[in-house]
Structure 1
Amino acid sequence: YVRHGTSTLFAALEIATGHVTAAFKPRHRRQEFLAFLKQVARAYPSQELHLVMDNYATHKTPEVRAWLAQNPRFRVHFTPTSASWLNLVEVWFSIIERQALHRADVASVAELNKRIRAFVTGWNDRCHPFVWTKTSTEILNKANRQMTSSTGH
């Protein structure tokens, strides 16, 4: 196994249609995240946008918070710790990993990005909204599940 570098994929999933807005960046810092937020703002210029994000530190930097405060049509919702499954874009990341990346043999970051871009383009050509198969009660029960054991570690 030879690692040829890494790439950061930022993605926003439009839940009404399943369309994905994506950006490739060399790193995952506040600068790159802010550039992605601005890309999303341009892609959806007049709608109120709800961002569901994990608690990654980059999403909470003073610069990002200031930008979000200046752009009140962006409403931020953070997923609870260990509950990324509540964020549908995480489901999409799982799909892309299984369908386009698992056991992929790529020789460079550029080739990796090209492979991901092809998947995103194909996805958007035939996108559709995700449909929850569980009721809201079942989902909330899982999210609020009580611990069944105390290991004391």
Structure 2
Amino acid sequence: MDPVHRSGFCGKRTRIVALYTAPPADATILCADELGPVIPRSFPPAPGWSPDGHRIKAALDYGRGPEKTWVYGALRPRDGRELTMTASCRNSVAYQRFLQVVEQDKPDGQIVVVTDNLSSHRSVSTRAWLENHPRIRQVFIPVGACWLNLQEGWWRIFRKAALAGQTFADPGEIEAVTALATAQLNARARPWIWGRPAPPTRKLRRRFIYRL
């Protein structure tokens, strides 16, 4: 990375981190991203057990349905609460519909959305939509720096709570489990604080003094 690009990268990084550490008093900071596609799968019934009490081995086989579901999410670092929405595709129309959900959740004040450089986020139709909704302002993270988007960390928690080890018959089940997992995680949400927490202080049970 040449010095010019490096300085631009560091400048963008500093501005985004400042939104987390010193957010504007009159604005709500949100981190938005898409997860997916989540595809329904159907597994054949288990072969069961042999007459002599041994489990019958069978090759892993499953079928994927034609439907794909994308999960849109926006994390509010101030209190750790999340907004989610499912859509059948990832395009400008679905993204604008999700921004409408974000705007309706906070009826007043400025909204700053930290997101990546996906084409649907920068498309002509999305820019035109944002012109008609001046309360929402997008801030794009540098390319290759997804770790600056706190929504990525929430996705890891969401996968364990909603998707790990699960199979879904249709998009309706994916939508239901998304709503349920979001409600459960919001019930125990905490503020997301940027930076590494200080190590806990260890209380010494015994203290020795050495004399030379």
Q: TM-score, normalised by structure 2?
A: 0.59
Partner in structure 1 of residue 99 of structure 2: 37
Partner in structure 1 of residue 73 of structure 2: 11
Q: CA shift at 1:41, angstroms?
A: 0.9
Q: CA shift at 1:11, angstroms?
A: 1.2
1:25 equivalenced with 2:91 (yes/no): no
- Give the aligned CA root-mean-square deviation in angstroms: 1.6
Measure, in 2, the Cα distance between the counterparts of 1:111 and 1:36.
20
Q: CA shift at 1:120, angstroms?
A: 0.4
1:53 equivalenced with 2:108 (yes/no): no
Which protein has the larger Cα radius of gyration, Structure 1 or Structure 2?
Answer: 2
- What is the CA deviation profile of residues 1-56 of structure 1, one whole-angstrom value per residue up to 9, with x for unaligned ones? 33233211111111111111111111111111111111111111112111011111
Measure, in 2, the Cα distance between the counterparts of 1:6 and 1:35.
18
Measure, in 1, the Cα distance between the counterparts of 2:168 and 2:71.
16
Aligned counterpart in structure 2 of residue 86 of structure 1, from 117, 124, 148? 148
**11-20 vs 64-73, greater mean Cα deviation:** 64-73
Measure, in 1, the Cα distance between the counterparts of 2:155 and 2:176.
16
Partner in structure 1 of residue 63 of structure 2: 2
Partner in structure 1 of residue 52 of structure 2: none
Helix, strand or coil for the counterpart of 2:64?
Answer: coil
User: Any stretches of 5+ residues in structure 1 without a counterpart?
Assistant: 136-153
Measure, in 1, the Cα distance between the counterparts of 2:102 and 2:170.
27
Measure, in 1, the Cα distance between the counterparts of 2:100 and 2:148.
24
Aligned counterpart in structure 1 of residue 160 of structure 2, from 88, 98, 104? 98
Partner in structure 2 of residue 149 of structure 1: none
Q: CA shift at 1:127, angstroms?
A: 1.2
Say whether the 8 Å CA contact 2:84–2:178 is kept in structure 1: no
Identity %: 28
User: Any stretches of 5+ residues in structure 2 without a counterpart?
Assistant: 1-61, 198-212
Measure, in 2, the Cα distance between the counterparts of 1:128 and 1:112.
25
Q: CA shift at 1:72, angstroms?
A: 2.3
Identify, as 1 or 2, the structure richer in helix.
1
Q: CA shift at 1:94, angstroms?
A: 1.6
Identify, as 1 or 2, the structure richer in strand.
2
Aligned counterpart in structure 2 of residue 134 of structure 1, from 196, 199, 203? 196
Say whether the 8 Å CA contact 2:69–2:86 is kept in structure 1: yes
- What is the CA deviation profile of residues 90-138 of structure 1, one whole-angstrom value per residue up to 9, with x for unaligned ones? 1111211133212322222221222221100101122111123339xxx
Could you list the structure 1 runs, at least 4 aligned residues long, displaced by more than 6 angstroms after superposition: none
